[in-house]
Structure 1
Amino acid sequence: MFTVALLGASGLLGRAISNELTARTGWRVVRTAHRRVAEGSVALDMRDAAAIDAFIDHAAPDAIVIAAAERRPDVCEHDPAFARALNVDAVNTVAAAARRCGTWVLSISTDYVFDGTQPPYRCDDPPAPLNAYGRSKLDGERALLETTGLGCVLRLPLLFGPIVDWQESAVTSLVPAIAASAAHGAKPAIMDAWATRYPTFTPDVAVVVRQMLERHASGDAICGIAQWSGAEPMTKFDIATRLAQALRLDARLAPQHTPADATPRPRDCHLDSSRLEALGIGRRMPFDEAIRQVLDAFPWHL
């Protein structure tokens, strides 16, 4: 029995990975969560090193996927110590425990390790994060790769997928403002048209993770750094326009062509996915089809 420990199974990405892996015949998936501990999951605080050690020793997994993280840039900027506890220290603890057990580890990282000035970015391009979130994730990458030789970092861009509330993704978090702008007499919703993002569907990422795990299970583990990204470039204004179309809302949207976020963000961190593509790994569902699935599965009456 091939056993996978999925850390952070209750989040946006973790749920998609859990659904994909549990459908795989012959695999045992041990899921952990901190706040939303569903039936069949193990409660685990990723800031508790002793608890992590005990969990890994007990589960004895063949592979570990770290989907738990603090991924909100503004939160990281205002509380960098909290961000580092999840994004750096916890990764280091998991990597050390995995090394003792000879377990392969996959840790999720971000396109924000780059400054966004020279896209597309290959796996070996020098990182230069602009904010505390990017710096914490880069330090987490280094913690993993310096602690174990049997580990892989998977960098991902902006994620969207099946949600439990609008705010789970920076894509669906736009919906309330879009809906409000469609009301009679409402002011236009101002949407960023400066930064280019590459929305990436979490069920697609889950397929990538499953395929990477299958390679490890067959004795051909991928180590080092890998990247995966959606292929459709969009600004938030573009995303909001397509959301309004999907929701059939006559929204009033106004583009903002200069940076407006208090926390600095890169302009274009397009990730080159060629390493995984060359291995036959990957799946990309068109954005409009994917977002329709998300909206159809979530009651959007506001």
Structure 2
Amino acid sequence: MFKVAVIGASGLLGRAVVDELVRQQTWDVVATAFSRPGPNTVALDVRDTRAIGQFVEREAPDALVIAAAERRPDVCERHPELARALNVDAVRAIAAAAHRSGAWTLSISTDYVFDGTHPPYRHDSAPAPLNAYGRSKLEGEHALTETTDLGCVLRLPLLYGPIVSWAESAVTSLVPAIAAAASAQGEAAAMDAWAIRYPTFTPDVAYVIRQMLERHAEGNAIRGIVQWSGDEPMTKYEIALRLAHALQLDARLTPQHTPTDTTPRPHNCHLASDRLEQLGIGRRTPFETAIPQVLAAFPWRGDTAA
């Protein structure tokens, strides 16, 4: 029996990973959560080094997937100590416990480790993060690679997928403003048309992670740094237009061609996925196919406060 622990299983990516892995009938999946524990999850605070060690020793997984993180750039900018606790220290503690038990560790990182000036970025391109979030995730990469030689970092871009609230993804977080801009009393909504993003479907990422875990189960563990990304470039303005179309809303949207975020964000951090592709790993669902699935599972009824 191949055993996988998914750390941070209640989040946007963690749920998709668990949903994918539990389909493997010969695998044992242990899911942990902190802020939203459920009946099928183990309560675990990744800031508690002792609790992490006890969990790994007790469960003895063959592999761990770290999906827990502070991924909101503005929060990381305001609270760098929180970003460090979740994105660096927790990764180091989990990797150390996994190293002691001989388990393979997969840690999730971000395209924000790059400054966005010279895309596409390969796995071995020189990082140059612009904000506290990117810096904390880069430190988290180092925490993993310096702590265990049986581990891998998977860099990902903007994620979207099945949600529990509109705010859970930067893609679906646009829906309330789109809905307001479509109402009779609403004003036009300004949407960023400067930064180029590559929305990536969480079920596709979960599929990639499952393929990576299969290689480890077969004795061919992937180590170092790999990247996966959707291949459709679009700005938030273009994402909003597609969302409005999918929701059948006639929203008044205005493109904003200069950056306005208080937290600096990179222009274009397109991640090259060639290292995984060369291993026959990967799946990409077109945005036009995936986004109706997301909206259908979390139906819009005019109530955008959820």
Structure 2 length as normaliser, TM-score?
0.98
- Deviation track 1:167-200 (CA, whole Å, cap 9, x = no partner) reads 0000000000000000114211000000000000
Amino acid at match of 2:162: P
**What CA distance in whole angstroms lies between the structure 2 residues aligned with 1:161 and 1:216?**
26
Unaligned runs of 5+ in 2: none
1:130-169 alignment to 2 at 5 Å?
A: 130-169=130-169
2:206 is the alignment partner of 1:216? no
- Cα distance, 1:77 vs structure 2: 0.2
Whole-angstrom CA distance in 2 between matches of 1:185 and 1:219: 61
2:282 alignment counterpart: 282
| Inter-partner Cα distance in structure 2 for 1:189 and 1:24 | 44
Q: What's 2:18 paired with?
A: 18
5 Å-filtered alignment, 1:103-182, equals 103-182=103-182
2:248 is matched with which residue?
248
Query: Which residue number corresponds to residue 57 of structure 2?
Result: 57
**What is the Cα deviation at residue 210 of structure 1?**
0.1
Between the aligned partners of 2:171 and 2:80, the Cα distance in structure 1 is 24
Superimposed CA distance per residue, residues 67-106 of structure 1 (whole angstroms, 9 cap, x where no aligned partner)? 0000000000000001100000000001111111111000
| Corresponding residue number in structure 2 for 1:94 | 94
1:227-266 to 2 correspondences below 5 Å: 227-266=227-266
Q: Say how many residue pairs are matched.
A: 302
Tell me which residue corresponds to 2:77.
77
Partner Cα separation in structure 1 for residue 147 and residue 51 of structure 2: 19
Runs of 4+ in 1 over 4 A off after TM superposition: none
Name the residue aligned to 2:296. 296
Distance 1:183 1:165 in 2: 21
Q: Distance in 2 between matches of 1:246 and 1:219?
A: 44
- Cα distance in 2 between the residues matched to 1:86 and 1:186: 38
* Rounded Cα–Cα distance in structure 1 between residues aligned with 2:118 and 2:59: 42
Which runs of structure 2 are paired with 1:20-59 in the superposition (5 Å)? Answer: 20-59=20-59
Distance 1:272 1:231 in 2: 9
The one-letter code of the counterpart of 1:268 is: N
Q: 1: distance between equivalents of 2:132 and 2:223?
A: 26
Amino acid at match of 1:143: A
Tell me the residue number matched to 1:7: 7
Distance 1:22 1:30 in 2: 10
- Deviation string 1:220-241 (CA, Å, 9 cap, x unpaired) is 0000000000000000000000
> Aligned residue for 2:188?
188
One-letter identity of the residue aligned with 2:233: P
SS of 1:75's equivalent?
helix
Measured in 2, the distance between the counterparts of 1:297 and 1:227 equals 28
Read off the aligned partner of 1:168 and give its amino acid letter: E
Q: CA offset at residue 66 of structure 1?
A: 0.2
User: What TM-score results when the alignment is normalised by the length of structure 1?
Assistant: 0.99
Unaligned runs of 5+ in 1: none
Take 1:299 and 1:286, find their aligned partners in 2: how far apart are those partners?
20
The alpha carbon displacement at 1:25 in A equals 1.4
Distance 2:175 2:40 in 1: 32
Percent of aligned pairs with the same amino acid: 71
For each residue in 1:40-63, what CA deviation from the matched residue of structure 2 results, as whole angstroms up to 9, or x when unmatched? 210000100000000000010000
Q: Which amino acid aligns with 2:194?
A: W
